[in-house]
Amino acid sequence: MRGMSRLTRSIQVGAVRIGGGAPVSIQCMAKADPADVDTIVRQLREARAAGCDIGRIAVPDLAAARTIPRVRAEGGLPIVADVHFDHRLAVEAARQGADGLRVNPGNLGGKDALRAVVAAAAERGIPIRVGVNSGSMPRQGGRAVEASAERMVETALTWVSEIEALGHPRIKVSMKSFHLAELDAANRRFAAASDVPLHLGVTEAGPPLAGSVRSAAGLAPLLRDGIGETVRVSLSAPPALEVRAARLLLQALGLRRGPQVVSCPTCGRTRVDLSPVAERVEALLESLGLPLTVAVMGCEVNGPGEARAADCGIAFGAGGKGLLFAAGQVLGPPWPNAELEEALRAYLGERARAAREGVEHG
Ligand code: SF4
């Protein structure tokens, strides 16, 4: 359960609302040469299919800014333009229809540069994300962590007041760090001091498995305490995988519904080679886009209990036969173990067809 959420101001990135009680949204970043628009569009479409709400692209030059209309139209997601060093790129990105800007006001080139960026965002009515990342030096000891978190929060609050003073309250803030104690302290401090929505993330989290675990370890305590209005899981992996990791994290915290496979860890009692079955069922469930919890269980010990508790599921069993469950009931006769996966696939196919046609299902 998410704790008492602080009530933040609400901002809009395209059609996606952030803050003000809106569901926690998922962001990703495209990872291709900005000139390779085909690949960027493909990555964003895949991310969208995986559950992404907002896409971000790097805008290192004017040519990249000019791809925004096509990336928006074909990628199917609201687009945030990520700009460093040259404020003119942010101004051009806003002109080209970006749904939001991500800048570090400290590296844009001074007050006039920030003023120009804020004016461009205000003219289009789009939000600015103020990104403050900590350095990569490890922090030694609790006091150093607190001091560093305090610096990040002070920097973020200073930029927020400067942008607000320019008449633009549509702001969100990110304070990312690789160091989880610092990430935690900075975001909690900021949440206590401001109603600006927070974009949460762990920087340079790592390869898929290590990065997902690190992100979950860092983000879950904050999200559970109602801190964080939008998230990105940064991985050295395709954007769709970042999105799946973020989605699974939100699902695990009960903040989002989506396809979910509950499968047993397997042991010496397992009746079949279970992990490929669980992976195939997960892939099918994701491709069908059904927000169901499906159990895939290896034997009759815990299998029937878990499969009954899920929306549907299979439990392989003794004597070469297993059971298919739906809505807590056994569906049909025992199936030969070799045919049980196919029976589940047929059932899920039927559910997807019914969902498309708007038919109620038991
Ligand atoms: S459900 Fe059966 S096979 Fe799976 S871990 Fe439990 S006892 Fe082992």
Q: 3-state SS of 318-342?
A: HHHEEEEEECCEECCCCEEHHHHHH
What is the C-alpha separation between 203 and 235, in angstroms, rounded?
A: 9
- Give span(s): CATH 3.30.413.10, the chain: 260-357
pLDDT in tens, 255-302: 998 899 999 999 999 989 999 999 999 999 988 988 999 999 999 998
Residue that has been written with the tokens 């559910």 in this structure: 351
In angstroms, what CA-CA distances link 305 with 268, 276, 282, 355? Answer: 19, 21, 20, 26
What is the C-alpha separation between 199 and 219, in angstroms, rounded?
A: 11
User: Whose CA is closest to atom 2 on ligand 1?
Assistant: 299
Q: Which atom of ligand 1 sits closest to the CA of residue 298?
A: 3
Residues with CB under 6 A from ligand 1: 264-267, 269-270, 297-299, 301-303
What is the predicted pLDDT for the residue at 359? 63
In angstroms, what CA-CA distances link 55 with 82, 90, 209, 232, 280? Answer: 10, 16, 22, 10, 28
Q: How many helices (DSSP H) and strands (DSSP E) are in the chain? A: 12, 16
What is the predicted pLDDT for the residue at 360? 54
Q: Which atom of ligand 1 sits closest to the CA of residue 271?
A: 3
pLDDT in tens, 196-222: 999 999 987 789 999 999 999 999 999
What is the predicted pLDDT for the residue at 127? 98
Q: Of 92, 150, 156, nearest to 121 (Cα)?
A: 92
Global pTM reads 0.89
Examine the pLDDT at 362 and tell me if it is beyond 70.
no
Report the separation in Å between the CA atom of 246 and the middle of ligand 1, taken as the mean of its atom positions.
28
In angstroms, what CA-CA distances link 209 with 12, 178, 237, 241? Answer: 32, 15, 10, 10
- Give span(s): CATH 3.20.20.20, the chain: 11-252
CATH fold of the domain at 260-357? Sulfite Reductase Hemoprotein; domain 1 (3.30.413)
In angstroms, what CA-CA distances link 221 with 123, 231, 254, 255, 349? Answer: 37, 13, 13, 13, 37
What is the predicted pLDDT for the residue at 137? 47
Confidence of residue 361 (pLDDT cuts 50, 70, 90): low
Let me know if domain 11-252 sits in CATH 3.20.20.20. yes
Pairing status of strand 260-263 against strand 230-231: unpaired
* Residue 88, CA atoms < 13 Å, CB-side half-sphere: 3
- Residue 5: CB atoms within 10 Å: 16
Report the separation in Å between the CA atom of 275 and the middle of ligand 1, taken as the mean of its atom positions.
12
Q: Coil, strand or helix: which one is 1? A: coil
pLDDT in tens, 48-86: 999 999 999 999 999 999 999 999 999 999 999 999 999
What is the predicted pLDDT for the residue at 142? 77
Q: Which atom of ligand 1 sits closest to the CA of residue 300?
A: 2
What is the C-alpha separation between 87 and 347, in angstroms, rounded?
A: 54
Q: What's the whole-number mean pLDDT along residues 230-256?
A: 95
In angstroms, what CA-CA distances link 122 with 100, 131, 179? Answer: 11, 18, 34
Tokens of 252: 């695990």
pLDDT in tens, 171-188: 999 998 889 999 999 999
Report the separation in Å between the CA atom of 322 and the middle of ligand 1, taken as the mean of its atom positions.
13
pLDDT in tens, 135-145: 644 456 678 88
Report the separation in Å between the CA atom of 360 and the middle of ligand 1, taken as the mean of its atom positions.
33
DSSP code for 269: T
Examine the pLDDT at 315 and tell me if it is beyond 60.
yes
User: Are the beta carbons of 356 and 348 closer than 8 angstroms?
Assistant: no
Complete DSSP assignment for 139-157? PPHHHHHHHHHHHHHHHHH
Residue that has been written with the tokens 């990336």 in this structure: 71
